[in-house]
Each structure stands twice: as C-alpha cells, then as structure tokens.
Amino acid sequence: MSNLNRRSVLTLGVALGLVSAAGVGAAPALAAPAAAGTDPWWVWDDEVDQLVAGLITSGQVPAVNTAMRSWVNNSDAIPSGLPANLRTYLQGVNTLPSWADRTKLRLAADFNRRKDTYLFMLYGLGSGIMSTVIPREAKSVYWSAGGANMQDRAAKTFTFGYDLSELTAFEPNGQFVVTANKTRLVHAAVRHLLPQSPHWRAVANEPGLIPISNGDILVTFHSLGTFVHKKLKEWKVPMTAAEEAAFLHQWQVAMHLLGVRDEFIPQTWSAAYAQSASALSPILAPSTEGKELAEDLLGLTAQIDLGITRGFLNEFVRYVLSNEIGDWLRLPRDYAAAALIRTVWPAFIAFREGLNPIAPVSFYMFDQFIRAIAMLFLNKGASGTTTLITIPTGNRP
C-alpha cells in the first residue's frame, strides 16, 4: 500500500474514532476537534526533537545520560546536572496529563498484576514478534544503535512493559512516568540520527524521511495494547467493563507521555479496533531486517528453559499471531505441537480462570511455559530497571 493510501486510511481511522467517541460521550479532553485537519503521519514531537538534536550536535548526550542515572522514580526531582533547557522541558512534561484518572490507573495496575502471566506472554511473544513485521518499526530498530544488540534492546523494551505493568506504575514511588519520558528522549534522538544512516535511508519509506511519527507510535500501540485486549477477549479471559476501560486508559496515558497528541489517541476500544484495522493490519509485511530481528528475539527466548521445545515456541507464535506471519518469518512447522496448543490452550485458560473445574492434560507444561516467560520479563525488568535507558549518539554502523 502506498504511503499516501496508508496515511489516508489512518486519518479515516482517527475520524472514525472521533465519531464513535463522540457517540459514547467520551472525555472531552481527548476529543479535540483539531484532529480532523491534522495527519498523525506528519506529526512528530517538535519541541523535544529540536532540543535533543541540539544535545547530540553539541556532544552533551554522554553527560545527560550520566545525570539521568539518578532519575528513576516518578517523584524524583529532575536531575540538577541536566542542561537548563532540557530540565525546563522535562519539568513541564514529567507529569500525568490533566485528564488522567488515578482510580482507573490503579484498577489497571491491579488488573495487570492479576493477569500478568498472560500479559507478559502476549506482549513478549505476540507484540514483540509482531513488531518485526511492522516494516517501518523493524527497519528503524534494526538500523539504530540498539539493533546491533537485540538482547540488550529487548531487555530495555521489557523495562517499559514491566514499569507499565507494575502495581505502582503511575504512583509517586513507581517509575513509569520517568521511563516514558526517557523513551521520549530516545525517540527524539532516533529522529535526528536515523536520517543520517545511509543504510536506513536506502530502505526507509517514511514521510519526510523522519521516523517515529505520531502515526507510527499509534501503530505500535495497536500491536501492544489493542492486540492484547483482543486476545484476552478471544481467549475468554474474564474482564469487567471497568477493567477493560482501565486497561485502555493506562495506554492512553502512556501514549500521551510518549508525545502522541491527545486528539489522535483512541478514546474507546471500538475506536482503537477501527484504527488498528485501518492502520496496522494492512501494513504488516516481512522485511529482511524484520526476519533477522525475529530470529534474534526467538533465539533469545529459546536460550531460557521454558520447559518446551523450539518447535512448540514457533507454533505458539503462529497460534498467537497467524500462520501467514509464521510463514513470513519462516518458522518451521511442528504439527504435533500445533495440535496440542490448539486443543489444550483454551482448556488451560478455562481451568486457570476457574471457568472449568477439570485440568487439561499437559496443564503443568503450559503453566511452566507462561510462568517462565513472565520470569523472563520480571528478571530483565528487575535488574537495572530504568537506568538502562540511555540516549543513543549514533546508528548501527
């Protein structure tokens, strides 16, 4: 699909989102009418982009990274060692948006804790592998500095999911607001650096040749939040309406903190589904970079003893995403594992969620598998946490 077509479908998706949001009387702060005339594929994060570009060209990034090490908890003061312009900027954005609802955020945190095993698995194996078939994301990640070391990069990305899923994520002693702001700075650096990479320029299909627009971030959100919500529904994991709304709300706040304009943020799950169908589904495709990243990611997971074979892991990815994506990534078939997953997984969820009193055969194998994936997240998240995220100063050579 051409750039123009894709942009126009997303704009349509946003318009649909606004229409349905207005229909259910969603929070007015998110429903600014300005969206109608603005295209998220041509919106980046101007203020911080300029600021970080200045820090890179003046060689201040290493000192900024050092000063940022002590900045971890949401309640921490912005480090005094940062350049004045960056401090002033961060003081303005290092806070929840006015429309954030702390009651919803607490419910989301509690929900995340109760469902953490499914969430870690879906984010890690589902969203993580899906990111490799979102060509613009795969190419950006591959050709940025972090692409050269996927293990380290995956650990940093896990930190984001871990901080978001923590019980205290948005509380003063939590870390998510800081993690999101550091990520926003990293993305700003990437927007300055990647256009200087001849490798990236040769493969990039980006409006104005600048990566990570608001549109791109929305697409990634759909590969994370919308995808996970859809799977939990499909798998009949019990969720109250309030929990579903809270889960969306946490992502709305996350997108705001990552620099997405409020008017582009979907306000309801139906708006999010419509936007995902028009902006994410049609662009999924294999790429050379994505295939290599997927192999790295699955190789990384395979290093941990998940109590399963690589064939099972490949089939689980196929089950969670699709056979089409599995074929794109050339994941070898293991038909016995595929049949086992197809029959046992729904029974496993029903038993685990108390919907069916009979434990399926292979219950322990599945249980060990999802717990091991969760531990992979928790260990990476707990060791080093937010200090891991640093602003890059170059690209992948």
The residue ranges that bind ligand HEM (CB under 6 A) are 136-137, 140-141, 144-146, 153, 156-157, 160, 183, 186-187, 190, 211-212, 216-217, 220-221, 224, 258, 389, 392
In whole angstroms, the minimum distance from the beta carbon of 187 to ligand HEM comes to 6
Q: Which is nearer to ligand HEM, 78 or 258 (CB)?
A: 258
In whole angstroms, the minimum distance from the beta carbon of 233 to ligand HEM comes to 20
Q: Which is nearer to ligand HEM, 362 or 385 (CB)?
A: 385
Q: Which is nearer to ligand HEM, 141 or 329 (CB)?
A: 141
In whole angstroms, the minimum distance from the beta carbon of 367 to ligand HEM comes to 28
In whole angstroms, the minimum distance from the beta carbon of 181 to ligand HEM comes to 11
In whole angstroms, the minimum distance from the beta carbon of 151 to ligand HEM comes to 11
Q: Which is nearer to ligand HEM, 224 or 253 (CB)?
A: 224
In whole angstroms, the minimum distance from the beta carbon of 190 to ligand HEM comes to 4
Q: Which residue is nearest to ligand HEM (CB)?
A: 146
Q: Which is nearer to ligand HEM, 269 or 351 (CB)?
A: 269
Q: Which is nearer to ligand HEM, 217 or 340 (CB)?
A: 217
**Which two structure tokens, joined as six digits, stand for 260?**
């997405």
Q: Which is nearer to ligand HEM, 11 or 179 (CB)?
A: 179
In whole angstroms, the minimum distance from the beta carbon of 345 to ligand HEM comes to 27
